[in-house]
Each structure stands twice: as structure tokens, then as C-alpha cells.
Chains A and B, each alone.
Chain A
Amino acid sequence: MLNLRKLSYMKAKWVFIGISLVITLAGLISMGVRGLNYGLDFQSGTRIDISFGHQMNTADIRNALVGIGHGDAKVQVVGTDKHEVIIVTRSLSTEDRRTMQAGLEAKLGKFDVLAMDDVGPEFSKELVNTTLLAVAVASIGMLIYMTIRFEYRFATAGIIALLHDALILTGVFSLIGKEINIPFVAALLTMLGYSINDTIVVYDRIRENLKKCKKGEGLEELVDRSIGEVIWRSIGTSLTTLLAIAAVYVFGGPTTKDFALALLIGITSGTYSSIFIASPIWVLWRNADERKKLQAKTAAKGKAATPTATAGKPSAGGGKKASAKSAKAAKSTAK
């Protein structure tokens, strides 16, 4: 059986970083080309959620809406029995909304209003501002915490991992065309908090192991060992959290479905990034610094700079098994 405690994670670091880059890029391109599907909170509009008590189809409703001057409305038939229709228009005054509802009723027959929501332009502007402020405050709070908690390399690498998580979640939501609304932002902040937790657990272990470094152990091996020591914890925690949220996604009804989806993606990405992004970045950085230090030292000694393999050259070959032994030998001085 694959022993997760004993794998050489750092050997494959470029594979992990590569996977993340691909997803992040795809998300960024999608954000640039398709943009984000802003929900009512951020774009202003009126949404009515109505039920006809019998099966409906989108075309009929669209025709009816065109007939009463709401051709630009978005229509969605939802629910397993297709009884429920969600219509989103530009923000309507109470009067205009009543006229529209009366018009619909005249063309399509009676319906029950399950939910109604209106966000006027000033409100959505205010919500955007408040949300941006909230994201900024939360991010600054977390950054401050990370900086106090760790030396700058850990902190910065951790923050890169967080950006990675935020980009992946937003990018995936752009790719699948899901709504960006206030619950999405709440999910985003929650998962950032969660991702930091995870990163802290991994970094703590690396730091602890650095203090009692085994003789002849290279930096990458030390990180591998640290990851191995915490990986069951990471998997365990993520799985229980994912199980709980998956239940909300599957059984929790339409209102919280996308919210749960955002958490599912975010928590997966957060767990992945603490192990496969935050740690490799830290290793690469620290190795680069060590190499510089070593070069400076050798230069100072008046010797010709000979950057040899002893400087802990990070193996660039993405996860080649063959290089395992030589790499191990080469990195004995990196600490």
C-alpha cells in the first residue's frame, strides 16, 4: 500500500506547481474572456422566484416576458419537477414589478411567489464597497497574523498559497459560470481562514523539525518528512469538512448549493496548496537564499565561485524517480 508518510513530495514539486498554474491560468483566461457572473448583490436587479404548480418551459416564459417588455430578463426553470421559475430583471420599482407580475399572470396563469428580491443600483454599489472593504480587512488581518507568526519566507510563501486558493476558486466559478454573490465572498473568506490553518500546521511541523534536524538530512527530505508527519491530519480534517459540506451541497436545497460548492472547491484547494504549493515555494526560496549565501561566502574567501551540487540544487526534473538517490546525496548540506 502507498505509504503517504514516506513519499518524496518535493521531488514532484514542479508537477504540483504546474497543475496549479494550469488551473489558475485557465481561470484567469476565463475571467478575462467570459468575465464573472455577478449575482444580484453586486449587479442590481430584481429577482422573483415563482412556482406555477405544473411543469414549465423556458421558451414560453421568455415569450411572455418579451410580450410585456421584459425581453432582457434572465429566465431559469429549476427544481426536479420544473415547477419553479426564477426570473431576473433589471432593478424594478414596486409598481413596475407588480405590473410585470400581473402581465405574466395574464399570459401564463396563476403562480405563487416563493421569493422576491430587489437590489437597486445604489444598494449594489454599497454592497460591492462593503464587500471589498471586508475582503481587504480580513486579508490584512490574516497577513498580519501570518507575519507575526512566521519569519518572512514562511509568511510570504503562505500568502502566495492563499492567493492561489482565491484565484482558483474565483477562476473555477468563472469557468462554470456560477454566480459571484455575497455568500460566495463569505465562502471565500472562510476557506482562506481554513487554508491558513492548514498551512500553519504544515509550517509548524517544518519549523519544529528544523530545530531538531536529523544528521545528513537535506532540506527537501526534511520537508518531505514533515509533510509525511502531518499528511494524515490534513487528509482527515479535509475529508471530514468536505463530507459535512458535501451533505449541504447534495441535500441542502438550492439556496445554499453554490455556497457549498464554493466551500468544497475552496477547501480542496486550500488543503492542496498548503502541502503542494506553500511548502515547495518555501523550499525553493530558502534554497535560493542558501545558494546566494554560499556564493557570497566563497567569493569572500577569494576563491573562484564554484556553485556545486552541495548548495542544495533543487532538482528541476519534475518528479523523476531516477534522480532520487543522487538528489538525496547532493542535498546533504542544505539546511
Chain B
Amino acid sequence: MGLSQRSLVYLLIFLVVVAGTAGYFTKVNPVLGKVRLGLDLQGGMEVVIDAVDTPDHPVTAEDMTKLTKVINNRINGLGVTEPTIYQSGSKRLIVQLPGVKDYEQALDVIGRTAFLEFYDQENFVKLQNNDPTAKPVLTGDDLKKADAVIRSTGENAVTLDFKPEGAKKFAAATTANVGKPIYILLDKQVIQAPNVEEAITSGQAQISPYQTYGEAQNIAVMLNAGAIPVKISVGRPTVVSAALGRDSLAKSKTAGLIGAAAVVAFMVLFYLGSGAVASFALALYAGLTLLTLVAMHATLTLHGIAGFILSVGMAVDANIITYERIKDELRLGRTLRSAIDTGYNNAMRTIVDSNVTTLIAGAVLFFYGTGTIRGFAVTLCIGVLMSMFTAVVLSRFLIRNMVNAGLIKTPRWFFGAWGGSTHA
């Protein structure tokens, strides 16, 4: 098999693979539907929860784990299909509730600051009278956990499990208050005031009875919530309605298609045949970038789409650098084949080099940015890397084999309508 036939076969195989892959990801396993959309595109709410240090209790990693659990419990009741909670930095949680309808309710549920305190009667009375000397006998910090249980007698109860410190305090408090109530307050609101029947020194206590098991569960959840030993502040709510998100997505799609069409038109006008190859490489680029985003489970945001469209414009840069190099070589009187090889080799260094700074900017935006800007940084960086691959590896493969196969015969192929005069 001669060189030209072999090249033709390579090209055909390549086209079949591309068509097959494209078909697979559009018809069989439509990948577009799997792109994770950011809140600004599907609507929803995001809030930031900060754990606040108190003088005697700096926020620990363990606190954050607990806090995450508690917040998780709270938002589970909201009926949001795919809530996400992630930690950002050492004291911050970011909660995303895609598609949440009643964001006001969600704000209330999440923002309910839970601070659990136990008061004996003496201190509780002081508290009622706004006496500043009122002091809790225990706080949520002393509680290890609370559970709803059904006793052997069939009674619904809540068990309290104290930490060693808390057990001592609780023992002291119950010893001094037999026959009197202990007031359990969540954010200064009494949630319960059970009577102390006897001194409890084991570090384990039970409150009972409750009418229903559900009621016991509710109390347990509230007690556990109060077991966060830190104050939290909920802020920076961002709400985007589903309608606005849909609208943004539709507009971004239009913008992307028109932008890509404009770029393709430009390339074909300026570089004729080679411009068409570059446009084909561009289509591959767009497809590969989308696949990468899906594979990475990256979230596509509004600014992320803008970054993607921007990178489409920038992606052809590598092709343009190369074609201009090839033209330079042709002007120097090289043959087509050698001009293409030298052109690609010379252009390679410039291309890699000239993308480094964009990657620097992208990396910084990724590390310091949040939400939608992070999405922008991700698509920009993936876009730049992918564009180097498609422009340098794929389009070179295509053009070289097209020359070998005899599909490209004249230098004219590289010069478009206005791409400078053919002869320098």
C-alpha cells in the first residue's frame, strides 16, 4: 500500500471514529443532558454558613463535621433533590439547594441558629428577669448525643449521652435539683423542662414519656443540632429563580452557537481549506471539552459558558499561529510538505508558551474564586489545554495525511480571500 493510500485509510478511520463517538454521545448516551448545571442556570439558592470562634472555643475540624451533619439533617426536610454541602476553608460551609422553590423557608430552616443550654430553676428565673448572672448548668458542648428510643415499657423516650465533663456537671445539677425541673433551651427558647426524679451520675439520662415516637425524634434532632458547640452565622444568600436560570441557559446556548458560527465563517474566509480543517478541529475541541467537563463532574455556570465560548475564539489561535507559520515557510519557497512540517514545529513552541499565562490566570481564579467564577476558571483552563491538543495534534494529523493522500496539492489551499497576498 502506497503512502497516499495509507494516508487515505488513516483519514477514513479517523472520520469513522469521530462520527461514531459523536453519534454515541449524542444519540445513545446523550452527554449534554449530563452536564451539571450551576445554580445560576437551573435556579436555586446558595448560602454560606460560617462557624464563629468564641473566646473559649475556637472552631475545630470536628465541629465542622458535626455542623455539616446538622445542616444536612435540616435541609433533608426541604425536599430538594440534590442538595450539596461542601466545606470551603476551615470554618465555612457552602450549601447549595438547586431547584428549591420556597427559598424563604429554606433560609429560615438553615439559619435557625441552635444554641443548646440547660438551666436549673434558680438560674432560669434569673434569665427570665434578665439578670446577667444567669448561668446555664450545661451547654450543648457537654452533650455527646441524643437519641430517640422506645423503652421496654413501650414508652417513647430520648436518651442523653453526656461527655465526661458534661456528666460531672449534670450529676452536680441533678443532685442539687431533685424534684425540680431542668430547663432545656434552644436559642433561649424552652423546648422542654423535665423534672429531675433522682440524681443522675452515670452521664446518661432519659427524658420520657412522649406522646409519639416522632415527637421524641424531633426533640433528639433539636438537641443534636444544639450539640454544635459553635455559633453559626448564615449569610450571603444568592437566589436565582428557575425561570431566570432557564432563560440564561437558552441565551447562552444561542450565544455559543452564533459565536462558533462566526468563528467558523471567519476561518473559512481567511484560510479556505485549512480554515475548514481548523473548524473541524474546533468542533472536535468543543466536543472533547464538554466530555472532559462531564467526566470531571464539573459544574457548568453562566460565566463558565462564557469562558467556554471565549476559549472557542482563543482555540483557533493555535491554528492561526500555525497557518501563518506555514505561509511564512511557503513564502520562503519551501515545498508544501516541508513547509507544513517546519511550520508546525516552529509554531509548537509559541503555542505552548503563549498559553502558559492564560493558565496562570485560570489557576489563580480557580483557587481564589467561588461559584460562578470558579466555573469560568475551569472551562477556561480545560479549554486552553484541549485547544492545544486539537490544534497541534489533531489538525496536524489531518493536514499531513491530507497532503500525503493528495487531497491538498497547492499552497493556495492555505491562503484565504484576504489572508495576505499569495506571494510575498
In terms of DSSP, what is the predominant structure of the interface of chain A? helix
Binds B, one of A21-29, A109-117, A213-221: A109-117
B238 touching A248, Cβ below 8 Å: no
Contact A49/B373 with A123-B236, A145-B356, A236-B320 known, Cβ cut-off 8 Å: no
B365 touching A255, Cβ below 8 Å: no
The residue on B at minimum CB distance from A253 is B251
B239 touching A117, Cβ below 8 Å: yes
Q: How far is the CB of A224 from chain B (nearest CB, A)?
A: 15
Q: How far is the CB of A128 from chain B (nearest CB, A)?
A: 12
Cross-interface CB contact of A49 among B244, B305, B367, cutoff 8 Å: B244
Contact A247/B320 with A145-B357, A263-B310 known, Cβ cut-off 8 Å: no
Binds B, one of A58-66, A169-177, A197-205, A317-325: A197-205
A256 touching B303, Cβ below 8 Å: yes
Q: How far is the CB of B269 from chain A (nearest CB, A)?
A: 11
Binds B, one of A31-39, A130-138, A281-289: A130-138
A291 vs B111: C-alpha distance when bound (angstroms): 70
Q: Count of B residues near A, CB < 8 Å?
A: 72
A123 touching B235, Cβ below 8 Å: yes
The residue on B at minimum CB distance from A146 is B357
Contact A117/B238 with A183-B303, A252-B306 known, Cβ cut-off 8 Å: yes
A247 touching B309, Cβ below 8 Å: yes
A245 touching B310, Cβ below 8 Å: yes
Neighbouring A residues of B302 by C-beta, 8 Å: 253, 255-256
A114 touching B248, Cβ below 8 Å: no
A3 vs B303: C-alpha distance when bound (angstroms): 38
Cβ-based interface call for B355 (8 A): yes
Write out, one digit per residue, whether chain B residues 411-424 have a CB within 8 A of any chain A CB (1) or not (0): 00000000111001
Neighbouring B residues of A244 by C-beta, 8 Å: 259-260, 262-263, 309-310, 312-313
A119 vs B263: C-alpha distance when bound (angstroms): 38
Binds B, one of A11-19, A184-192, A302-310: A184-192
A248 touching B107, Cβ below 8 Å: no
A245 touching B361, Cβ below 8 Å: no
Binds B, one of A69-77, A227-235, A292-300: A227-235
Neighbouring A residues of B380 by C-beta, 8 Å: 190
Contact A241/B241 with A233-B320, A247-B258 known, Cβ cut-off 8 Å: no
Cross-interface CB contact of B361 among A119, A138, A256, cutoff 8 Å: A138
4 nearest interchain CB pairs? A244-B313, A247-B259, A241-B313, A134-B368
Residue numbers of A with Cβ under 8 A of B are 3-5, 49, 94, 98, 112-120, 122-123, 130-131, 133-134, 137-138, 141-142, 145, 149, 182-183, 186, 189-190, 192-194, 196-198, 200-201, 204, 229-230, 232-233, 236-237, 239-248, 250-253, 255-256, 259-260, 263
